[in-house]
Amino acid sequence: MTESPLLEAVELSKSFGGVRAVHSVSFAIQSGELMGVIGPNGSGKTTLVNLITRFVKPTSGKVLFKGETISHLPPHRIVRMGISRTFQMVKPFYQLPAYKNLIIPLYSPRMKMLAGRRYGDRNAVALDLLEEVGFERDAFVAYKPAGALPQGYLKRLELAKTIALEPELIILDELFSGLSLAEVASIVPIIEKLRLEGKTIIMIEHRLRELFRIADRVIVMNYGEKIADGKAAEVMESDAVKNAYLGTENVCK
């Protein structure tokens, strides 16, 4: 017997008018797994994340988290259950210093639920979190307004905001996009460390090389449908994926 999955999507569909953004996608993810979601632009990856976190209401199908249906809950309730996400376009609180950006999630309903009132010095917790995602300890950068940070730090801050909520499932929507190779290389160990801590992670990525190095498993989306699901190496060899990414031979010629 395998244990029941942490998250399960059952025939999730979403249409925007006549566009089938996501069509009958099912998958299950076990606790502790790192699952990549890849696919060409517009294939429905972000919509899939939006459906899981309920930022978008599914047209049909459902999502189960620890065996409970969550697809009827509003997004803030889903966060409280332990699913947290990043956005492709980062939106920090620009006027606040970087570490103060973490004060709001640290005071949020989920943290109150988990820690009660005995949560200690939250400024210190915020600075620790920033160090965890690669802000230099005691450096000026943690105290700068978020609006003045370079992209690499903004992505790290986005990651820190998600882990500040101590989630069980972390969904990273193109965390690596817009980052240099060196910056990606420095964030990969942070994700690996999160896995060692037992977090379950879903990563949407276009940076396949980096993704395949850390993912246990990859699902491939194309035109809103799941066209492959399996170990990274196997998935890349399948014909459906080659067609989706490279086009059919006729098109190539």
Q: Give least dist CB 75 to another protein, A.
A: 5
In the complex with another protein, the residue whose CB is nearer, 90 or 227, is: 90
Among 5, 39, 58, 92, which residue interacts with another protein (rule: CB under 8 A)? 92
The span of 95-103, 182-190, 198-206, 223-231 binding another protein (CB under 8 A) equals: 95-103
Question: What sign results for the dihedral spanned by CA atoms 136, 80, 170, 58?
Answer: negative
Select the residue interacting with another protein from 13, 31, 59, 108 (CB under 8 A). Answer: 108
Which of 19, 26, 57, 107 is the binder for another protein (CB under 8 A)? 107
Pair 110, 82: CB distance under 8 Å? yes
Amino acid at 7: L
**Of 48, 14, 19, nearest in space to 229 by CA:** 48
**Could you say which of 165, 194, 219, 221 contacts another protein (CB under 8 A)?**
165
User: Which amino acid, 87?
Assistant: F
- Segment 45 to 64, residues that bind another protein, using CB under 8 A: 53, 55
Contact 33, 215 (CB under 8 A): no
Instruction: Please pick, from the candidates 14, 23, 45, 80, the single residue that binds another protein as defined by CB under 8 A.
Output: 80
Q: Is residue 84 a contact residue for another protein (CB under 8 A)?
A: yes
Distances (CA, A) of 113 to 51, 82, 210: 25, 11, 35
Q: Bridge-partner residues for 163, per DSSP?
A: none
- Cα 67 from Cα 86, distance rounded (Å): 24
Sheet holding 225-230, edge to edge: 83-85, 169-173, 200-204, 34-38, 217-222, 225-230
Alpha-carbon distance of 179 to 86, in angstroms, equals 15
Q: How many residues bind another protein (CB under 8 A)?
A: 28
Ranges within 127-156 binding another protein (CB under 8 A) = none
Q: Is 212 among the residues that bind another protein (CB under 8 A)?
A: no
Bridge-based pairing of strands 68-69 and 60-65 is antiparallel
With contacts defined by CB under 8 A, name the span among 39-47, 82-90, 217-225, 231-239 that binds another protein: 82-90
What is the closest distance, in whole angstroms, from the C-beta atom of residue 236 to another protein in the complex? 32
Q: Using CA atoms, how far apart are residues 251 and 8, in angstroms rounded to an integer?
A: 36
Decide if 23 contacts 32 (C-beta within 8 A). no
Among the listed ranges 10-18, 58-66, 91-99, 188-196, the one in contact with another protein (CB under 8 A) is: 91-99
Which among 31-39, 94-102, 174-182, 202-210 is the span making contact with another protein, rule CB under 8 A? 94-102
Sites of contact with another protein (CB under 8 A): 53, 55, 74-77, 79-80, 84-85, 87, 91-96, 103-105, 107-110, 112, 161-162, 165
